[in-house]
């Protein structure tokens, strides 16, 4: 007698409130990832780099990364580069939360 192969059961879809909460978390994570990426791009482009005419100094160097980070978050809040949406879609698919 030959038995068919056994496959693991499909994960149960979370209830509506838990699903919506998880989708919100995934959206926030995707936007945070895009903000980090944009922040690194802005730093490499020279945002916050000290200008010789104003002297720069240790304080300016310490806060330049914070400037890039906040500028990146503001850019993402306005739509950013559009990376958050495909990242969100991929995270949603990986967790089986596709509509």
Exposed / middle / buried, residue 79 (Cβ in 10 Å: 0-12, 13-18, 19+): exposed
Q: Looking at the 3D structure of the chain, how many domains does it have?
A: 1
Q: Is 4 left (phi over 0), alpha (psi -120 to 50) or beta?
A: beta
Helix axes 58-77, 16-45, angle to 10 degrees: 130
**54-78 residue pLDDT tens:** 566 667 767 788 888 899 999 999 9
In a domain, 35, yes or no: yes
In a domain, 83, yes or no: yes
First to last CA, the chain: 40
Task: Give the chain's residues under pLDDT 50.
Answer: none
Mark out the alpha helices in 1-83 (DSSP H runs).
16-45, 58-77
The pLDDT, as a whole number, for residue 53 is 53
* Segments forming the whole domain that contains residue 90: 22-44+57-94
pTM: 0.72
| Alpha carbons 81 and 29: distance in angstroms, whole number | 15
In a domain, 39, yes or no: yes
What's phi and psi for 83, nearest 5 deg?
-75, -30
Q: By three-state DSSP, how is residue 34 classified?
A: helix
């Amino acid at each position: 007698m030959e038995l068919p192969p056994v496959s693991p059961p499909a994960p149960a879809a979370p209830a509506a409130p838990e699903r919506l909460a998880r989708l919100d978390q995934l959206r926030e994570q995707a936007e945070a990832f895009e903000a980090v990426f944009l922040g690194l791009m802005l730093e490499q482009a020279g945002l916050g780099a000290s200008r010789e005419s104003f002297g720069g100094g240790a304080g300016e160097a310490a806060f330049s990364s914070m400037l890039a980070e906040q500028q990146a978050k503001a850019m993402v809040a306005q739509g950013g580069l559009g990376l958050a949406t495909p990242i969100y879609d991929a995270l949603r698919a990986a967790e089986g939360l596709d509509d």
